[in-house]
Amino acid sequence: MSTSVTALTLGELDKLPAHSRRCVFWEMDPAVAEDSRDFSDPVFEKEAWLSTVLLEWGSCGQVANVDGNVAGCALYSPPSVVPRATLFPTSPVSPDAVLLTTLRAEFPYQDKEVAHQLMQAVVADLVRRGVRALEAFGIRFDPPAHALSERFGSMTLMERITAPIIKSSGPTMSGALAECSPETCMIEADFLEEVGFEVVAPHHKFPRLRLELNSDHGWKEDVERALDQLLAAASMAPPARIGVR
């Protein structure tokens, strides 16, 4: 089985896994979306968001392939362009950090190898760009029932975080929402800790974790190999379009 990871580009947005391509759990504030009657196409919204980040900030995704089949993806960006990042009880993200929002291996490739290779590619890209740290909001399961009472306006904070983006009777939209929740769209805190992240803002359900990119987490050789692969791919790529970083 041969696994490769490549950076997401403007011309390859359709290569994202199906769920990640239409999921806007992170990219839209549920309260704002609820007031927008024009929001009906999550694929369009996700592609518009990705295109903007790619053009204005640069690389924001890595896609894994196993023997030519899409096996998973990772998405990351400045926290300022991630609306839901402001809603957590452990917000805000540190000002010197990039936010990892998605790290997802697809069936039947849901093993640690694909996830680890995606992480290596993300870290290699950010190290090359001089980013100091990577942070993520992890999820822990089965928190104590009494711990879910934080308030946010007229809703509990948990209700606001877990709220669907918008209500719709359309088959495409309702299907997308049925698949989107913190449990399906967030990264398990245990996995983040396993690959070197440390909790910097504890919480029973949504801790914020941080990975320092200027220190050795026991995978230096893997990151260096991923960097070599990125540089080799860049040397073979056609000239970048004007305005693309």
**Residue 79's CATH number:** 3.40.630.30
CA distance 122 to 102: 11
- For 147-158, the pLDDT digits (tens) are 444 433 344 455
243 is a domain residue: no
What domain range is 228 assigned to?
3-236
51 is a domain residue: yes
167 is a domain residue: yes
CA distance 218 to 210: 16
Question: What pLDDT score was predicted for residue 182?
Answer: 92
204 is a domain residue: yes
Nearest to 174 by CA among 19, 46, 40, 47: 40
Question: What pLDDT score was predicted for residue 236?
Answer: 52
Give the CA dihedral 194, 198, 203, 204, nearest 10 degrees.
20
Question: What pLDDT score was predicted for residue 21?
Answer: 94
182 is a domain residue: yes
Total structural domains within the chain: 1
Question: What pLDDT score was predicted for residue 2?
Answer: 83
DSSP 241: P
187 is a domain residue: yes
242 is a domain residue: no
Which residues of the chain have a pLDDT value below 70? 1, 32-40, 112, 143-179, 215-245
Question: What pLDDT score was predicted for residue 241?
Answer: 41
CA distance 50 to 191: 25
Phi, psi of 10 (to 5 degrees): -60, -35
189 is a domain residue: yes
